[in-house]
Amino acid sequence: GQSLEQPSEVTAVEGAIVQINCTYQTSGFYGLSWYQQHDGGAPTFLSYNALDGLEETGRFSSFLSRSDSYGYLLLQELQMKDSASYFCAVRAPRGANNLFFGTGTRLTVIP
């Protein structure tokens, strides 16, 4: 089966940098994804790593270490609008195509 662990809550100051960690266990690995969800809103795709290393998309970066079954999402120059829940997700094993999500990290950005 699959399991993902991420911190339940993180608080950071506007303009700062925050890192949200995710460790996973999965039988078969098909990439680690990150989604953002504002309260009452739809989850939206942020980033994806299939190979080890860092992927950068504007203020957001995501890192993956397959040997450590670990990844993180890095948010730079935090803005108040970044306050949301962030989910890491892995694809289910071959033959299934749904995503398996962690329980999410609620990020609160304070002035």
What residue ranges bind another protein (CB under 8 A)?
30-31, 33, 40-45, 48, 50, 87, 89, 91-92, 95-104
In terms of CB distance, is 52 or 77 closer to another protein?
52
Task: Please enumerate, as own/partner, the contacts of 66-69 that have beta carbons within 8 Å and a separation of 24 or more.
Answer: 66/29, 68/23, 69/23, 69/24, 69/25, 69/26
In terms of CB distance, is 72 or 87 closer to another protein?
87
CB of 35 to another protein, least distance (A): 8
Token pair recorded at residue 98: 């749904």
Token pair recorded at residue 37: 């969800």
CB of 38 to another protein, least distance (A): 10
In terms of CB distance, is 14 or 38 closer to another protein?
38
| C-alpha span between 88 and 91 (Å, rounded) | 10
CB of 100 to another protein, least distance (A): 7
| C-alpha span between 20 and 82 (Å, rounded) | 13
In terms of CB distance, is 95 or 111 closer to another protein?
95
